[in-house]
Structure 1
Amino acid sequence: MLRKIENISEYLKSHGIKPSYQRIRIFEYLMKTTAHPTVDTIYRALVPEIPTLSKTTVYNTLNLFVENQITHLISIEENEARYDADTSLHGHFKCVSCEKVFDFEIEADQLRYSGPEGSEVREKHIYYKGLCSGCNKIQ
């Protein structure tokens, strides 16, 4: 589901984002993970390599990515924001035991919307919670 981007610097520019070293590294990190990381997870992963990195920079960079539609904000829990560089239509499953978030495929025609006439859907979010296969075996 996740697209391949050969030149992240050019990709960021094409979306109106100035490609600083920190922004490139944050986006590379998002592209390489399927873990749907939090700000704190990204910060802890990159600060050994970029000692001048702050959590505020990570937070602001992710917000910039979301605003420019190259990253999705995932809010399955009210007090937890996770990020996903896969902007294709797909759903998320969060295990209530290990708290991992998994992607699953959905097709647009499976989702029917019959809202107010003249309205326009701009985003679709599908979330499920339960036990992943690994945790379900333990239970």
Structure 2
Amino acid sequence: MKTYDYLLEHGIKPSMQRIAIMDYLISRKDHPSIDAIHMALNKKLPTLSKTTVYNTLKLFVENRAALMLTIEEKNTCFDGDTSLHSHFLCKKCGKILDMPFYGDKIENLTYVNGFLIDEIHHYYKGICPSCEGKKI
């Protein structure tokens, strides 16, 4: 699916900046921060402000087009993959990696014991195989 259509599907009016930010998020597996996204796109879009990046990411998260990760207290990161999955933070190198979700498969907007569930955050923390010297 094209980024333009993806944004429309999530109720977001596509613009050049929004498309560039979503394309960048979707193409990355390293869960970039606002600063990293701004620095990477500023070369291609020199008029792109950090405020625009922040507001665009906020819009994406509010419309479920992207995920905001707060696994690391000092740094908020973003993920263009909104499928149900977990994240792993390596305490040694600081990388955030995708992992399969091993919990109960709860779909969005499902009631569990009377609670309406519309978000799941499932984080692991430890040492990644690269830092342990093991091959993945």
SS of match in other structure, 2:130: helix
1:18-57 equivalent positions in 2, closer than 5 A:
18-57=13-52
Query: Is 1:135 matched up with 2:136?
Result: no
Query: Is 1:59 matched up with 2:59?
Result: no
Q: Report the RMSD for the aligned CA atoms in angstroms.
A: 2.0
In the TM superposition, residue 134 of structure 1 has moved relative to its aligned partner by: 1.1
Alpha-carbon separation, structure 1, partners of 2:3 and 2:86: 25
Alpha-carbon separation, structure 1, partners of 2:117 and 2:105: 15
Match of 1:109 in 2: 104
Alpha-carbon separation, structure 1, partners of 2:105 and 2:119: 15
SS of match in other structure, 2:12: coil
Instruction: Letter of the 2:46 partner, please give it.
Output: P
Match of 1:79 in 2: 74
Alpha-carbon separation, structure 2, partners of 1:126 and 1:71: 16
Instruction: Give unmatched runs, 5+ long, in structure 1.
Output: none
Instruction: Letter of the 2:59 partner, please give it.
Output: L
Q: How many percent identity over aligned positions?
A: 48
Instruction: Letter of the 1:79 partner, please give it.
Output: K
TM-score, structure 2 normalization: 0.88
Alpha-carbon separation, structure 2, partners of 1:89 and 1:60: 24
TM-score, structure 1 normalization: 0.86
Alpha-carbon separation, structure 1, partners of 2:9 and 2:123: 30
- Runs of 4+ deviating beyond 6 Å: none
Q: Deviations over 1:63-87 (max 9, x none)?
A: 0000000101000122211000111
Alpha-carbon separation, structure 1, partners of 2:45 and 2:81: 24
